[in-house]
A and B are shown apart, each in its own frame.
Chain A
Amino acid sequence: MSDLGNRFGAGQSTVFLALVLFWLAGMVLAPNLMMIDYALRPNLPPAAMGGPDDTYSLANILYLAGEPTHRAIFFKTIWASGLVALVTFLVCYPIAFWMAQRATVGQLSAALLLIIIPFFINEVLRTLAWFIILAYRGPLNSVLMNAGLIEAPIRWQGDGGVLAAMVYAYILFMLLPIYNAIESLEKAQIEAARDLGASTWRIHARVVIPHAKAGIATGFVFTFMLAAGSYVAPSLLGSPGSRWFTEIIYNWFFEGGDWNRGAAYALVLLVLCLTVVLVTLRLARVNLADVAT
């Protein structure tokens, strides 16, 4: 804190701190407190608000527990988000390793450019691109049929489509932390392991992955949270059988008109996401501070 004062002077430091406080209080704390407040109160007509029925209770949360369809979608969202994170990791790890340890400077810049360029485009449009690619009469099916690999078009939309679109959407959030972590691994360590007779698999299991653990955990946490909170991909690419929990929340707010139940559902999702993140970090023995850097 005194560092800040020394560097920018009292005036500027005060402005910085005030802005940060405003951000935390106004943009983070207040909405969340309001959400909790909504979640714990019943859905009443405006006239009854503040009346004798307006009391705090866990009724909205218990409603979720007692509603089998919503409950199932909730747990499905959790494990499917974990699956998204896992598949994203499996896609990103080899690319990150190649970029960090094998690629020449030219190859690295080309790869980074190719990976980042799609992110210049809005997420909705990127998801829409998948919508087109995976359409029943779309290019993917026609390519596969022309190649004689399938007889009739496949309906990709549903779980598979959501998974593909999410993995694609969150690649950067997994790739960059892992790339950063592997990049700092001294090449001689890999060479030493190989020289001592280790197979490729063992080199990764014993040398590269332990070194990149913090980066991998960071990527998992990012991807998991983004996937669990995703709305665009499930709504565009999902099918009635692949509903996402965010869609249920959306429905409570904008179709059911029950903000309180929607807030309760959102609160449960938030708490569960935080739990998953903290457990992941504990399992990987990584501090929250390591993830932030």
Chain B
Amino acid sequence: MSHSVELAGIGMTFGATRAVRDVSLKVQAGEFFSILGPSGCGKTTILRMIAGFIEPTEGRVLIGERDMKGLGPNQRPTAMIFQSLALFPLMSVRDNIAFGLEARGVGRTARHAKADELLRLIALEGYGDRMPGELSGGQRQRVAIARALAVEPGVLLLDEPLSALDLKLRQHMRAELRALQKRTGVTFIYITHDQSEALAMSDRVAVMSAGLLQQVATPRELYENPATPFVARFVGETNAVAGRITAVDGGLARIETELGALTGRAGRRAVAGTPGTIYVRPEALIPGTGENALTARIERVDFEGSFALVHGRFADGGSLAASVPSTRLADAPAPGSDAAFAFAPAHAVVLGDE
């Protein structure tokens, strides 16, 4: 049984700081939803408001269409996975997983049976009698998930649970989390500052900055159609060139920059006669001159395996990042030279400055 989560204009003020301002969004039942933002953007505060550890100072939290006002974390159909996991170190793995059932008064036999069933689900069968300290990081991670799932929550809240793992394990756990979510059908709300994590796992992503919701969209939409300059810069790498928008027509915007006139798709707030910025992804830049091209002094070329990342500096002081597939490495310009990179207008977006 999974629940939807709706945030209706919630805000949180701690003393003089407004940690979260007027955030409204709706997470569908059974969705894998991520909240992405740099540290201090208010994402953890939002998660804690959904869990019930803090009450929002403004607005309402609805879980499964029900207003959660006044209900504590032990009365909400949510379960949280903490950044530190917070496994109980003095209880066996089985007792950890069964703790929520114990709190609900489920008998010993029944709750141990359920714990063993969950241990099978997370592929840790036979580990029930171990102590959490005897498990590896990835195993502890899975125990924390099993402990949360044991109470059959309608919504699972995850607070950067993978941040303590090394890269390889993190990538493995991403796939595992995603599979687990599909299998159980539980709504996942996942907090992270790691954009690749959010893009790879989520059905939809909300991007936050300084307590404000920037955009809620599918990963692809977020990457291709960033709604705000913050999203364009924060999600994925980008080349940003500032200028003045001269014309907006047929979904395309023309912008006059120090690097010449450039054309891209017209995004939000792209209005002729106002200051704006054009954003181009590194992979959209193709070595060579053209009508729509950026010229930069090349500083270095980093070979990354499947592609090489060309770094340079524009005449206006901005930095260039262009990726060249390894199969076309011969096209990459040499460091120290001036080189031009062309791009199709459809692969760039022009946003009005905020």
A residues neighboring B (CB under 8 Å): 186, 188-189, 191-199, 202, 206-207, 210-211
Contact = CB atoms under 8 A, between A and B. Distances in A.
B82 A191 contact: yes
Nearest to A190: B86
Contacts of A198: 74, 99-100, 103
Interface residues of B, number: 24
Given A188-B82, A206-B99, A195 B74 contact: yes
A188 B161 CA distance: 13
Interface of B: 51-53, 72-74, 78-80, 82-84, 86, 88, 90-91, 99-100, 102-104, 147-148, 151
Contacts of B53: 191, 195
A194 B148 CA distance: 12
Contacts of B103: 193, 196-199, 202
Contacts of A196: 74, 79, 99-100, 103, 147-148, 151
A202 B102 CA distance: 10
A95 B86 CA distance: 24
Contacts of B84: 186, 188
23 contacts: A186-B84, A189-B88, A192-B86, A192-B88, A193-B99, A193-B103, A194-B73, A195-B73, A195-B74, A195-B79, A196-B74, A196-B99, A196-B148, A196-B151, A197-B74, A197-B103, A197-B104, A197-B151, A198-B99, A198-B100, A199-B103, A206-B91, A210-B90
Nearest to B90: A210
B88 A207 contact: yes
Contacts of B72: 194
B17 to A, nearest CB: 16
A211 B91 CA distance: 11
Given A192-B80, A195-B53, A197-B100, 18 more contacts: A188-B82, A188-B84, A191-B53, A191-B82, A193-B103, A194-B72, A195-B51, A195-B52, A195-B73, A196-B74, A196-B79, A198-B74, A198-B99, A199-B74, A199-B103, A202-B103, A206-B88, A206-B91
A186 B88 CA distance: 10
Which of A197, A202, A207, A211 counts the most B-chain CB atoms under 10 A from its CB?
Answer: A197
A273 to B, nearest CB: 29
A284 to B, nearest CB: 13
Contacts of B80: 191-192, 195
A192 B148 CA distance: 9
Contact of B86 (A191, A199, A210): A191
A189 B88 CA distance: 7
Contacts of A210: 90
Given A193-B99, A195-B79, A196-B147, A211 B51 contact: no
Query: A-B pairs with the 4 shortest C-beta distances?
Result: A196-B100, A188-B86, A192-B86, A198-B103
A207 B103 CA distance: 12
